[in-house]
Amino acid sequence: MELVSNAPSGPIERSWETHKFGLKLVNPANKRKHNIIVVGTGLAGGSAAASLGELGYNVHCFCFQDSPRRAHSIAAQGGINAAKNYHNDGDSVYRLFYDTVKGGDFRAREANVYRLAQVSVNIIDQCVAQGVPFAREYGGLLDNRSFGGAQVSRTFYARGQTGQQLLLGAYQALERQVGLGTVKMYPRTEMLDLIVIDGKARGIVTRSLNDGKLGVHFGDAVVLATGGYGNVFYLSTNAKGCNATAIWRAYKRGALFANPCFTQIHPTCIPVAGDYQSKLTLMSESLRNDGRIWVPKKAGDKRNPASIPEEERDYYLETRYPSFGNLVPRDIASRAAKAVCDAGRGVGETGLGVYLDFSEALKRLGPQKIAERYGNLFEMYERITGENPYEVPMRIFPATHYTMGGLWVDYNLMSTIPGLFVLGEANFSDHGANRLGASALMQGLADGYFIIPYTIGSYLANIKTERYSEDAPAAKEAVANVAAITKKLLDANGKRTVDSYHRELGKILWDYCGMSRNAAGLKKAAGMIAELRQDFWRNVRVLGSNEEFNQSLEKAGRVADFFELGELLCMDALHRNESCGGHFREEYQTDGEALRDDANFCYVAAWGFQGAGRPPSLTKEPLVFNYVKPSQRSYK
Amino acid sequence: MKLTLHVWRQKNAEDRGRMVRYEVPGVNEHMSFLEMLDMLNERLTEKGEDPIAFDHDCREGICGMCGMMINGKAHGGFKGTTVCQLHMRHFKDGDELYLEPWRAAAFPVVKDLAVDRSAFDRIIAAGGFISVPTGSPPDGNAIPVPKEDADLAMDAAACIGCGACVAACPNAAAALFVGAKISHLAHLPQGQPERKRRALAMVRQMNREGFANCSNIGECEAACPKQIKLEVIAQTNERPETVSGGVG
Amino acid sequence: MSAAANLPLAQLRFWETTIGKKAIMAVTGFILFGFVVGHLLGNLQIYLPPEKINHYSEALRSVPVLLWGARITLLVSVCLHIWASFALWMLQRAARPIPYVKKSNVHSTYASRTMMWSGPIILAFVIFHLLHFTFGVVHPGGPFDEHNVYNNVVTGFQFWPASLFYIIAMILLCYHLYHGLWSMFQSLGYSHPVYTPWIQRIAKVVAILIAVGYISIPVSVLAGFIKPV
């Protein structure tokens, strides 16, 4: 198979305009005859469903939560980037494009990233019009801040709840369409299979989480906006319900899965407290603006931090990266924290943590100024840990936060299965091997509001609308497949709980395929996962029946998919013999820093399912950089 | 520490339901309340007993999916805290806790502690939005918004739709939820053209869903994990013809 | 699905909603509050020589249009107040069919939670009070003389069970007024972070003053400060 990106040629500044003009349109009178299925209601799915409903399509929208407003986009704190240049500090579409390609360590498609930077400005306008209460200056204009080490102030925010406010904007637009009857919403409904007829995505099989009823929904196109797969690590900053089942089952129906090994670890999370830990809480990385990161110089030094004298502390980021200090990018800060903990110098009961110390900033700025800047974060930290960061240094540790990999899509956001579109974090995205802060919200909304409404129309205009019945062989086969998986999970009737397997799987991946990876470890992990997966199917205990609200059964199906995805993750990480962005291979480094290999790995690795038990196929989409010339990142 | 829980168990919407007593030894003070329930559920599963169903998702206090009554208090009654962010250090050995679902006719029980809050979605669908099509709205800075108004809008917009206000209200009223949305949008210039219609349509839908009226008791405000103020309800009550963006 | 998303404004009727009923409660409550204040001022003339209150009573009766106008306004207000409260009370009962096994109220006042009890008891009292002093049908303390209001009051209150009922009813009225008075502002859409707490304090003082004023009368009678003439 050859991957055709459909990215337009010609000057990049005009490529999206030119491409849009080349897209076919659907006659307004015909739009309501097209059923479109949208799975997921986060920033990407919610904005897509609302916009498509508004255009007049007949939209069926699904989410596993009890309401579309719960999607995990809601948890994003920091902000959303847009190249508005309101601050006259030299920002431009081109600079945002440049920063994103470089930040992604040159593993993203240039044309996509340029388009993302272009539409970023429309997103802000759209959201303001919807009533998103962005922070304002006294003059009434929009406020910006610089974020994640960016050199310009291009981040728009709504207190520490930017994701929430953007999601509520999309949710309200979606509910408006529900009220108008153009969108039908199916909450507490999980997609469990994709129906492919004559090579085209034509529908999905769902399970109602309330009563287990399986549903068959046909559409002329299927849009997946189901988020990332960070929960494969069990502990992550994702919501507990976040899962990869929709994209994984689409993968098993023929959609290629791109760059699974590009996962992002966020450096400033609250450390794990014990085995019972169910999720990790992220704190905005703005804390690194004033907090100093350190560990004791001596391994195993368990003294109270206040009684460790200055000369026995190691401010390792400041020493190693004198020009960026505590503000080095996420991947570098995370790996450095891991390295000191591996050397036995980690702090806290578990030894998996480093200090983020505000005592110097408190002396310099006073507690009032610190409270103004970080008050809510300090409160959150105290609520969770019971420690007061004004008195003792915070303890932080990296945690899985975002996955850059996902289903492969072309410039039109269509996967390798015609009619299957993938948006937001679920696709392999515009972020390359590493995502910049405040760019996830931007991509989700760009895909949903400003890209899919155009590209899906062109697809629909080119196909014949077909009406299928539930008796169609492909539909019956998909339903039987879902029923068989459920039956197998319920029938195992073993001894171990689903969570205990998930926790063990997560630990394997975190240890061998987390912040740093090596070939021996990845091989070992793949073997361990395969073994654990076999044990899971024999020995898992899922009580109750399919025909009820059964949260164990929901989890079991998702964990079953995480096992398979975890294996693919290791395989991809093993094949990519270079270090780039969030993917760090210990064998490929120079002087402790990541060593990219553009000669051999400047491509998107897209994996194809070849049947259970068979190794997946690897297809490469070469990446060409005409505008931003690849260079080595250096922060020393 | 060791706790005794009395948990509402109800198989489905039709089942009558009852309180069931569970002994939970070995609770660590650093656990969150939901992690304590996770642990209990693991043990129940191992014993072959049906685990307790409860809604939860983000576990960082923002998605609004979790929520239950703990000893008669929504989310446990700690200021500004959802149950997922409540930690066990607030309890002590030997405590006896009663866990019940949100109780309201408009929030039917799905199972055990999980309820159906889709009534809230229908209220938003009736009018909780600004009608703006996706496309080319004016530049974000075309209409300046006084910082004070943006801040007041944000205060109200912080609502997470968890339903604690309804659960805590002796009347099972949804006035704080509805008021929060009306207040959020009424404080912004973009929300002005539709403000009357929005307020009336949402209140009408609220009544149709079977939420009772507000009688200015104030339990909702005390229970709200996002500390939304009772003032937002006054904004709903104001004759919608005169609803202003200012204090009201 | 909610069809209201595209209903024209004209079809969304304010008075049908719960906020409409609350506005009715507030407006009628205000009229009744006005009566309670006026009535107290009239009653306090009991501390003056007997002719004063008797003349006052005669004066009220001498203009039937005003008297009946006021009576009809009050009756209509009472009926609307009760109708709206009853409609809302039915809604409240339906809104939570299954009560909590355990419920603790962390913020609310006793007054706010007992409006539906204090209201009917006050109504029962008002009926008794009318029979007692206005129509004289039930007047166990002695003979009822339509033209001697002063004596009717004094002899009426000398019968201590009547006084007791009166005092209890006035205490309930105090609670009812406290919550009702400040709620009125909230129900009509006025709320403010600084002023609302003051409105609540003023409501409390006014409610207590009114109750003390009313209660002073039977207490004075029973204590022998006011004697029949």
**Cβ-Cβ contacts under 8 Å, B210 against chain C:** 94-95
Q: Which of A141-150, A346-355, B14-23 has the lowest mean pLDDT?
A: A141-150
The pLDDT value given to residue B99: 98
Residue A220: CA count within 13 A, CB half-sphere: 23
Average pLDDT value for residue range A16-44:
96
Would the pLDDT of B242 be above 50?
A: no
* Residue A589 to residues A16, A261, A329, A579, Cα–Cα distance (Å): 37, 17, 17, 7
What mean pLDDT value characterizes chain A?
A: 95
Lowest mean pLDDT among A158-167, A564-573, A626-635, B79-88: A626-635
Give the residue from C22, C103, C110 with the most B CB atoms within 10 Å of its CB, the best one to mutate.
C103
Residue A454, pLDDT score: 97
Q: Are C1 and A176 a contacting pair at CB < 8 A?
A: no
Question: Which residues of chain C are within 8 Å of residue B229 when distances are taken between CB atoms?
Answer: 193
- Residue numbers in C near A178 (CB within 8 A): 1-2, 5
State the Cα torsion C110-C115-C118-C121 to the nearest 10°. -160
Find out whether B184 and A131 touch, Cβ atoms under 8 Å. Answer: yes
**Cβ pair B87:A386 closer than 8 A:** yes
Instruction: State the pLDDT at residue B243.
Output: 39
Residue C5 domain flag: no
Instruction: Give the span between the Cα atoms of A298 and B238, in whole angstroms.
Output: 66
Q: E strands within A387-442?
A: 394-403, 406-407, 420-422
| CATH code assigned at C50 | 1.20.1300.10
Tens-place pLDDT, residues A563-605: 999 999 999 999 999 999 999 999 999 988 899 999 999 999 9
- What is the number of domains present in chain A? 3
The reply to whether B230 touches chain A by the CB within 8 Å rule is no
Q: Are A295 and A314 in contact (CB under 8 A)?
A: yes
- When pLDDT is cut at 50, 70 and 90, the band that residue C190 belongs to is confident
Q: What is the predicted pLDDT for the residue at C5?
A: 58
Helices vs strands, H then E, count in chain C: 8, 0
Residues 6+ apart with CB under 8 A from B73: B168, B223, C104, C106
Tell me, yes or no, if A458 comes closer than 8 A to chain B by beta carbon.
no
- Judge residue A443's burial from the number of C-beta atoms within 10 Å of its C-beta, 0-12 exposed, 13-18 middle, 19 or more buried: buried
- Residue C1 clears pLDDT 60, i.e. is over it: no
Is C105 inside any structural domain? no
Q: Which of chain A's residues have a Cβ under 8 Å away from the Cβ of B143?
A: 128
Chain C residue with Cα closest to B223: C106
Q: Which chains touch A (3 or more CB pairs under 8 A)?
A: B, C
Pick among B63, B107, B178 to test the A interface (most A CBs inside 10 A)? B63
B62 neighbourhood in chain A, CB within 8 Å:
74-75, 161, 164
Q: Cβ distance B84 to B113 under 8 Å? A: no
Question: In terms of domains, do A111 and A247 share one?
Answer: yes
d(CA A182, CA A200): 24
Enclosing domain of residue A120? 35-264+402-462
> Closest to B238 (Cβ–Cβ): which among C13, C18, C189?
C189
Distance CA A456, CA A463 (A): 11
Residues of chain B in contact with residue C107, where contact means CB-CB under 8 angstroms, are 217-219, 221-222
- CATH code, domain with A212: 3.50.50.60
pLDDT at B248 over 60: no
Q: What's the pLDDT at C2?
A: 44
Lookup result for tokens 């169609």: A472
Kindly state the average pLDDT of the residues A56-62: 98
**Contacts C179 to B, Cβ<8 Å:** 216
> Among A139-143, A383-387, B110-114, which stretch is predicted with the lowest mean pLDDT?
A383-387
Q: Is the same domain home to A490 and A410?
A: no
Handedness of CA A19, A24, A26, A28 (dihedral sign): positive
Residue B247: predicted pLDDT: 24
The whole-angstrom separation of Cα B229 and Cα A445 is 31
pLDDT tens digits along C96-145: 999 999 998 887 888 888 888 899 999 999 999 999 998 888 888 778 88
Is A448 a domain residue? yes
Q: Please indicate, yes or no, whether residues A60 and A160 belong to a single structural domain of this protein.
A: yes
What would the pLDDT profile of A170-183 be if each residue is shown by its tens digit? 999 999 999 999 99
Q: What pLDDT digit, counting tens, does each position of A87-112 carry?
A: 999 999 999 999 999 999 999 999 99
Could you give the CA distance from residue B197 to residue B185 in angstroms, rounded to a whole number? Answer: 12
Write down the pLDDT at residue A424: 98
pLDDT attached to residue C109? 84
Name B199's Cβ contacts closer than 8 Å, sequence gap at least 6: B127, B182, B186, B236, B240, B243
Q: Closest chain B residue to C90 measured between Cα atoms?
A: B212
| Chains linked to C by 3 or more Cβ pairs within 8 Å | A, B
If you average pLDDT over residues A464-480, what whole number do you get?
A: 95
Do A101 and A240 have their domain in common? yes
In total, the C-beta contacts within 8 angstroms joining chain B to chain C are 174
Measured between CA atoms, how close is C77 to chain B, in angstroms? 19
Chain B residue closest in CA terms to C95: B105
Helical segments of A271-409, H only: 316-320, 330-342, 359-385
Residue A38 pLDDT > 90, yes or no? yes
* pLDDT the model gives residue A2: 87
Question: Domain ranges in chain B?
Answer: 3-111, 117-242
What lies within 8 Å, CB to CB, of A372 at 6+ separation is none
d(CA A377, CA A601): 40
Segment A617-629 shows an average pLDDT of: 97
Say whether B125 and A175 touch across the interface (CB within 8 A).
yes
Q: How confident is the model at residue C192 (pLDDT cuts 50, 70, 90)?
A: confident
- Residue A318 pLDDT > 90, yes or no? yes
Q: How many CA atoms lie within 13 A of A179 on its CB side?
A: 28
Identify from B8, B194, B215 which residue to disrupt to test chain C contact, counting C C-beta atoms within 10 A and taking the largest count. B215
The CATH number that applies at residue A530 is: 1.20.58.100
Judge: B184–A131 Cβ closer than 8 Å, yes or no: yes
pLDDT of A286 > 50? The answer is yes
- Identify whether the C-beta of residue A25 lies closer than 8 Å to the C-beta of residue A454: no
Q: In this structure, which amino acid lies at residue B133? A: P
The whole-angstrom separation of Cα A563 and Cα A568 is 9
A130 interfacial to chain B (CB closer than 8 Å):
yes
The whole-angstrom distance between C5's CA and the closest CA on chain A is 5
Q: Are residues A438 and A421 in the same domain?
A: yes
pLDDT tens digit string along A370-379? 888 888 889 8
Domain CATH number, residue A373: 3.90.700.10
**B227 or C188: which leads in pLDDT:** B227
Gap between the Cα atoms of A134 and A124, Å rounded: 9
- Give pLDDT tens digits for C153-166: 999 999 999 999 99
The answer as to whether A467 is a domain residue is: no
Neighbours of A276 (CB within 10 A): 18
Final residue belonging to a domain, choices A438, A462, A486: A462
Task: Tell me: do A442 and A391 sit in the same domain.
Answer: no
C111 to chain B: closest CA residue: B217
| CATH level 2 (architecture), domain B117-242 | Orthogonal Bundle (1.10)
Residue of chain C whose alpha carbon sits nearest to that of A175: C5
Interface of C with A (CB under 8 A): 1-6
User: Tokens representing A323?
Assistant: 């020009």
The shortest C-alpha distance from A184 to chain B (Å) reads: 12
Q: Are residues A167 and A79 in the same domain?
A: yes
Chain centroid to CA A469: how far?
A: 35
How far, CA to CA in Å, does A554 sit from each of A190, A485, A561, C167?
A: 9, 11, 11, 63
Arithmetic mean of pLDDT, A283-296:
91
Instruction: Let me know the angle formed at the C-alpha of A321 by A317 and A325, rounded to the nearest 5 degrees.
Output: 60
| pLDDT given at position A7 | 95
pLDDT of residue B244: 34
Exposed / middle / buried, residue A197 (Cβ in 10 Å: 0-12, 13-18, 19+): middle
Asked whether the beta carbons of residue C192 and residue B98 sit closer than 8 angstroms, the reply is: no
Q: What is the mean pLDDT of residues C8-20?
A: 74
Contact B154 A67 (CB under 8 A): no
Residues A354 and A444 both lie in one domain: no
Compute the half-sphere exposure of residue A116: CA atoms within 13 Å on the CB side of its CA. Answer: 31
CATH ID of B3-111, from 3.30.70.20, 3.10.20.30, 2.60.40.10, 3.40.640.10: 3.10.20.30
Choosing from A399, A417, A442, the residue where a domain stops is A399
A379 and A411 part of one domain? no
Q: How many angstroms separate the CA of residue A58 from the nearest CA in chain C?
A: 15
Q: Does A139 touch chain B (CB under 8 A)?
A: yes
Q: What is the reported pLDDT for C143?
A: 85
Task: Chain B: list its partners (3+ Cβ pairs within 8 Å).
Answer: A, C
Q: Which residues of A are catalytic?
A: 330
Q: Which of chain B's residues have a Cβ under 8 Å away from the Cβ of C188?
A: 237-239
In chain C, the percentage of residues whose pLDDT exceeds 90 is 66
Domain boundary among A399, A417, A452: A399
A221 and A347 housed in the same domain: no
Q: In whole numbers, what is the pLDDT of chain B averaged over residues? A: 93
Find the domain containing C197 and state its range: 15-98+110-223
Q: Which amino acid is at A605?
A: A
Q: Is B185 on the interface with A (CB under 8 A)?
A: yes
Determine whether the interchain pair A176/B45 forms a contact, defined as Cβ–Cβ distance below 8 Å.
no
Write out chain A residues lying below 8 Å of C6, CB-based.
179-180
Phi, psi of A218 (to 5 degrees): -100, 150
Residue A535, chain B, CB below 8 Å: the answer is no
